[in-house]
Structure 1
Amino acid sequence: MTSQPKIRIRGLKKAFGDKKVLDGVDLDVEAGTSFVIIGGSGTGKSVLLRCILGLIAPDEGRIEIDGEDMVTAAPRRREELVQQIGMLFQNGALFDSMSVADNIAFGLRAKGRAKADAKRVSWSAARLAAGDILKQVGLDPSVGALSPSELSGGMQKRVGLARAIAGTPDIMFFDEPTTGLDPIMGAVIDGLIVDCVKRLGCTAIAITHDMASAQRIGDKAAMLYQGRLVWQGLAADLMNSGDPLVDQFTHGRREGPITMELRR
């Protein structure tokens, strides 16, 4: 008997007007694994994450966490399920008006806010804990006193990761985690992501255009094309999948079955 996937998606569809973005996505992500989704710009990778997070309502389909459908769950229960998820946004999405420590404290205090009986962590306790969380992403606690505008791109990514893991989530999402970083810093961030996911024992989904990053982060991978996952397999096989669509995309070939739509 197989174990129940941590995340199970069936028949997920989403359209914006006449444009079908997701057209029947089926996906299983086993507990404790890291799953990477690749695909071209505008293929629906971010829409898929937003549907799971409840930021966008799908037109059809099921999104299950531990067997419970988020789409049909009551609003309070849906919020509780979403609170299991930590998110590292593409641009860090730090609050400019808050210090680094307060950004992380916000992530810590957000844990359990959907539960009526949950005890809220005080700001002072959360700020104190922020220093230890900064250490987990390779930053000195003194960075907590800085504002996001004083940080380099790599440091902002680290702080974003620190805020995402502050609430010890069961599930982590990574939206283009190496965008805007040089190759060395990208490898550093990927290493921190892998370490944090393993330490927390959580399940992870990452979307990326960076094939080196995809192979460093992922256990398994899939490619989204024309609204469907057209290939799934081991992340280590991305560059040698044998699938014409995947091979063209991962090797950046101009010629092949993928044709780019040009807007006039």
Structure 2
Amino acid sequence: MRDEARPANGSPAIAAVPKIRLRGLTKRFGDKLVLDGIDLDVMARTSMVVIGGSGSGKSVLLKCILGLIEPDAGSIEIDGQDVLKLDREAREAVRNRIGMLFQNGALFDSLPVWENVAFGLLARHKASRAEARARAIEVLAQVGLAASVGDLWPAELSGGMQKRVALARAIAAQPDILFFDEPTTGLDPIMGAVIDGLIVDCVKRLGSTAVAITHDMASARRIGDRAAMIHKGRIIWEGPATALMDSGNPVVDQFTHGRREGPIQMELRR
């Protein structure tokens, strides 16, 4: 049995409660079992990157935590509280603490940039329009965009600028949890590195806990403190993000190095 860490007075240390704790999370769509008993801890003020093949359940996992999909079984604890046991109002209060950067930005074409950024503040009546606009301009500056961008429409922005605006929207309400769904998809390598740098800066500035899903191994190593891989509906490996390319797990190594031959290919041939 592992010895407990003890403080100077000799009494047992109290283990920190994970910001997010998943236990036995299961989700099935018809005959397809997508999540098969997911167990995962994400500690406060850390960034967790989740990798896995297409259709492995990464997006379903995020949607379950967000409350967009109801799991069939298991628990989702945030700060030690199982959100699946909360009433609707309490669940909504938890969701309001979460910021989300969607894969393709998901900006509202019918709203100018500043209203996109301030959408959550306005929808929840947390600020007047003047206050919301001022906050939007402030947050746009944090992602490297000038105040004048606030008056543009999403269609007038490049892909990289749209990602920046989407990131600004995710952090505008100063959430303590941030989710990133394939943050560098559709970007060239340089702009991808820029977005990753902004993500790291924003997470540190807010002191937030972050969970990102990605296929981009360079991005995963840049933004993650820790990493986990989903395969066949389960977490098969977890460790430091710096170890992604040398995990010692043959499935993880094949995926991260993009090798044609390996255990994943053997399973697909059956």
Is the structural similarity TM-score above 0.5?
Answer: yes
Partner of 1:197: 203
TM-score for the superposition, normalised by structure 2? 0.93
Q: Superposition pairs for residues 49-198 of structure 1, below 5 Å?
A: 49-110=62-123, 113=124, 120-198=126-204
Partner of 1:30: 43
Give the Cα separation in 1 of the matches to 2:257 and 2:268: 19
Amino acid paired to 2:176: D
Identity of aligned residues (%): 69
Structure of larger gyration radius: 2
Deviates more, 1:101-110 or 1:250-259: 101-110
Partner of 1:242: 248
Amino acid paired to 1:251: H
**1:124, CA displacement in angstroms?**
1.9
Amino acid paired to 1:127: R
Q: Indicate whether 1:211 and 2:238 are aligned.
A: no
Deviations 1:139-187 (A, max 9, x none): 0010000000000000000000000000000000000000000000000
Q: Secondary structure at the match of 1:28?
A: strand
**1:261, CA displacement in angstroms?**
4.6
Partner of 1:41: 54
TM-score for the superposition, normalised by structure 1? 0.95
Q: Secondary structure at the match of 1:258?
A: helix
User: Contact (CA 8 Å) 1:109, 1:121: kept in 2 or not?
Assistant: yes
Q: Secondary structure at the match of 1:5?
A: coil
Query: Over aligned residues, Cα RMSD in angstroms?
Result: 1.1
Q: Secondary structure at the match of 1:35?
A: strand
Give the Cα separation in 2 of the matches to 1:169 and 1:40: 29
Amino acid paired to 2:52: G
**1:128, CA displacement in angstroms?**
1.9
User: Contact (CA 8 Å) 1:222, 1:232: kept in 2 or not?
Assistant: yes
**1:107, CA displacement in angstroms?**
2.8
Partner of 1:229: 235
Q: Secondary structure at the match of 2:170?
A: helix
Q: Secondary structure at the match of 2:84?
A: coil
Give the Cα separation in 1 of the matches to 2:232 and 2:74: 17
How many matched pairs? 255
Give the Cα separation in 1 of the matches to 2:36 and 2:107: 33
**1:71, CA displacement in angstroms?**
1.0
**1:120, CA displacement in angstroms?**
2.6
Q: Secondary structure at the match of 1:97?
A: coil
* 1:255 equivalent among 248, 261, 267: 261
Q: Indicate whether 1:10 and 2:16 are aligned.
A: no
Give the Cα separation in 2 of the matches to 1:239 and 1:77: 40
Q: Secondary structure at the match of 1:255?
A: coil
Deviations 1:82-120 (A, max 9, x none): 11100000000000000001111113335xx3xxxxx63
Give the Cα separation in 2 of the matches to 1:37 and 1:105: 28
Give the Cα separation in 1 of the matches to 2:182 and 2:237: 20
Amino acid paired to 2:100: M
